[in-house]
Structure 1
Amino acid sequence: MNVLILIVGFFFLIKGADIFVDGSSKIARKIGIPSVIVGLTIVSLGTSAPELAVSLISSINGNNGIAVGNVLGSNIFNTLVVLGGTSLAMPLIIKKKLVGKDYFVNILVIILLYILTFGFMFSGKDGFLSRTDGIILLVCCLAYLLFLIFSTLKNKKSTSITEGERKELSSIRVLPNLFFVILGVIGIVLGGKLVVDSATNIALSIGMSEKLVGLTIVAIGTSLPELVTSIVAALKGETEIAIGNVLGSNIFNILLILGLSSAISPIAVAGNLFVDIIFLFVVTLIIGVLIFANKKTDIKKLNRSEGILLVLFYVAYLAFIIIRN
């Protein structure tokens, strides 16, 4: 039965992502929003819904110790497997000017999370996210959203379109596509839940511990929407949505999800998670090197060999946490 539910979950995930990408990209073209901004906002918020649901329910129940581990695991999966796996399906064309600022925000957000959680210590002692820390993260989230809105308005003023493009845009209707976006999100969230629940039951039935399941299957499962959506977007030629989805999801996972979770109920953070934050910081720096190292061109093509390298990094990380736990 769990195998059947797993298959149904993957169907909802893939079909929901397909509908979601189509609807959001058409709305973006209609109202003049760059695809990368759509990826950073609508798509990333939609695909972060599973992480948000898991963390908020845990916080409301006063048992949100898994929130930080879930977010860190999801962000590491996004950075290595979503980007790596997407570039395996279709090499990603990345415009450096469009993602540079958001990549820099990613770096700052990881540093902020470490400081709020562990201060400036590297001793492995337990950390803590207070309600005040949660409010700080939420204020930063609001500031980031305002920055994206400002960037969108600025882009609309500087963008000119041809008569042919104007006719094509006039044929796009916003409300039907908005319906498809919402329908896609529902499919993504429902599919993600079915996959996580069924995979967890299968794993427990073959003897995996609950803690290990939480660090692996739950973190991976809640990131499946990002993976499927990014791959579908890349295959449809919307590579800017794919990279925007990863950057936006990582930012909102920390600022919005951990911000809300710790604002509702302060979070005690296990000391050994400082290693995971450092690892997330390092792999994010590696992504930066891959994208921005060559300053002679504004276009970076993340190819399949680099994708394989990123996926192998994640395999090594999985081996580490399995041994650690």
Structure 2
Amino acid sequence: MFILLGIVGGFIALIGGGELLVRGASNLAAAARVSPLIIGLTVVAFGTSAPELAVALQSCYAGKTGLAVGNAVGSNISNLLLILGISALAAPLAVNVRMFRIDIPAMIVAAVLLWVFGLSGSISRIEGLFCCVLLVAYFTFTIRQGRRESAVATSESLIAESEITYDPRTSTWGGVVMDIVKLVIGLALLVGGANLLVDACVKLAQGFGVSDLVIGLTVVAIGTSLPELVTSLMASLRGQRDLAVGNVVGSNILNILLVLGLSAMVAPTGIAVDAQSMHFDIPFLIVISLAAVPIFFSGFGITRIEGGAMLLYYVAYLAYLVWHAGRPAGTVTPISELLMFLAPIVPLVVLVILFRPRKTS
């Protein structure tokens, strides 16, 4: 009975939190005269990355630093395939052209940087500090660029382009305070609802005899991405497509530069990067991040068909994780197996480029 209440209560908190967060973020974007994309890349992404940060820091304090990398990388893969896939199925997503110049390259650089740092077997405190400095530089540039673009455009054209429903109350201090309250309450409900739902699902899975390893690879990995999923889905359904995509890309940048960077600084000897992550999970993350560029650019968006393909690929990824978990401990994915798993991405990207005309305006 308590498990059922936990699942229902978790879903209610997630939906309510996502609605409040999107409303508050959209109104703040209108009040600050910046696009929802900037809010999604910064404020919303920071809030929805809170579960990953909490899991990583708790893992470091418990001496299980390897969990921090696995959780961050798994969450980033979930963001790109599961969250964007479901959001695109709900409503086709649009990708702002600025993301191709700044944000998507930053997401790819962060993933490659993680792989480079992991070559030594761990991320040191100095490397963690470097990640945090990069994040501060990225945030500073993003906010300044957003305000500069807003100054060039008129308020009316910016609001129309960003699909914001302008509320006159956001121009008053009272309206701004209320929107900040909505955003904070929304974040709290998202994080609390995710924790409640994950705890209930873990207990349910344990009741059916599912192993802790499989639970960690599936329920917990998806559970820490629930705030991003609900936020992007609600934003997509409400027509805030820039916020939906910006939340995912911004969260992916934060999960590496902030979550792993700060964790490496907190851990006495840095955080460990295991061989399996270096041979499979991180290269897989880099490849799907690179594959996102031509898919997004071919039409400046993600269609429902592409969203469905991304979702199916994520299911295949989960199936592989469960299958690999049954191997003897310490087994590392060979390069041939990784290449076979990545092979379907190439024809998918080629088909998208060839058969979907690029948007020219």
Instruction: Give the TM-score, by structure 1 length.
Output: 0.92
Contact 1:36 1:98 in 2 (8 A): no
Equivalent residue, structure 2, for 1:268: 272
Alpha-carbon distance, 1:208 to partner: 2.0
What CA distance in whole angstroms lies between the structure 2 residues aligned with 1:32 and 1:162?
10
Deviation at 1:161, TM superposition (A): 2.4
The answer to whether the Cα contact below 8 Å between 1:203 and 1:213 also exists between their aligned partners in 2 is: yes
Is residue 2:304 matched to residue 1:310? no
**Alpha-carbon separation, structure 2, partners of 1:252 and 1:171:** 31
One-letter identity of the residue aligned with 2:276: N
Residue 288 of structure 1 is matched in structure 2 by 293
Question: For residue 171 of structure 1, what is the aligned residue in structure 2?
Answer: 169
3-state SS in 1 of match to 2:64: coil
Q: Deviations over 1:209-252 (max 9, x none)?
A: 22222222111000011111101001111000000000000000
How does 1:7-18 map onto structure 2 within 5 Å?
7-18=8-19
In the TM superposition, residue 93 of structure 1 has moved relative to its aligned partner by 1.8
Q: For residue 128 of structure 1, what is the aligned residue in structure 2? A: 122
Conservation of the 8 A alpha-carbon contact between 2:14 and 2:193: yes
| Runs of 4+ residues deviating >4 angstroms | none
Mapping for residues 1-325 of structure 1, pairs under 5 Å: 1-118=2-119, 127-162=121-156, 170-172=168-170, 173-265=175-267, 266-274=270-278, 275-292=280-297, 294=298, 300-325=300-325
Q: 1:99, 1:244 within 8 Å by CA — same for their partners in 2?
A: no
Confirm or deny: 8 A CA contact 1:12 1:191 kept in the other structure: yes
Q: Which letter maps to 2:273?
A: V
Amino acid at match of 1:277: I
Q: Which amino acid aligns with 1:319?
A: A
SS of residue in 1 equivalent to 2:94 = strand
Task: Structure 1: state its 5+ residue gaps.
Answer: 120-126
Asked if 2 retains the 8 angstrom alpha-carbon contact of 1:34 and 1:152, the reply is: yes
| 1: CA distance, partners of 2:185 / 2:14 | 11
**3-state DSSP class of the match of 1:63?**
coil
Structure 1 residue 96: Cα displacement: 2.2
> Which is worse superposed, 63-72 or 229-238?
63-72
Give yes or no for contact 1:96–1:291 (8 Å, CA) kept in 2: no
Q: Deviations over 1:153-196 (max 9, x none)?
A: 21222121249x7xx56432201111111110110010011111
- Asked if 2 retains the 8 angstrom alpha-carbon contact of 1:134 and 1:260, the reply is yes
Give the Cα–Cα distance (whole angstroms) in 1 for the partners of residues 144 and 31 of structure 2: 18
Q: Say which is worse superposed, 282-291 or 32-41, in terms of deviation.
A: 282-291
Q: State the distance in 1 between where 2:10 and 2:100 align.
A: 32
- Distance in 2 separating the partners of 1:231 and 1:97: 22
- Equivalent pairs, count: 312
- Range moving further from structure 2, 243-252 or 151-160: 151-160
Matched residue type, 2:272: A
Distance (whole Å) between structure 2 residues aligned to residue 144 and residue 216 of structure 1? 31
Range moving further from structure 2, 260-269 or 53-62: 53-62
Across the aligned residues of Structure 1 and Structure 2, the Cα RMSD in angstroms comes to 1.8
| Equivalent in the alignment of 1:123 | none
8 Å contact from structure 1 (residues 9, 194) kept in 2 = yes
TM-score, normalising length: structure 2? 0.83
Instruction: Mark the CA change 1:109 to 1:22 in structure 2 (over 3 Å): closer, same or farther.
Output: same
Please give the per-residue CA displacement for 1:273-312, whole angstroms capped at 9, x wherever unaligned. Answer: 11100111111122112112x3xxxx52311110110011
CA distance in 2, matches of 1:234, 1:150: 26
Corresponding position of 1:124: none
Identity of aligned residues (%): 39
Q: Distance in 1 between matches of 2:97 and 2:287?
A: 20
Greater Cα shift, 25-34 or 127-136: 127-136
CA contact (8 A) 2:33 2:155 kept: no
Q: Is the 8 A contact 2:16 2:189 kept in 1?
A: yes
What amino acid maps onto 1:146 in structure 2?
T
1:51-73, Cα deviation, whole Å (9 max, x unpaired): 11111122223222211000111
Cα separation, partners in 2 of 1:162 and 1:33, compared to 1, 3 Å: closer
Query: Which amino acid in 2 is paired with 1:209?
Result: S
SS of match in other structure, 1:95? coil
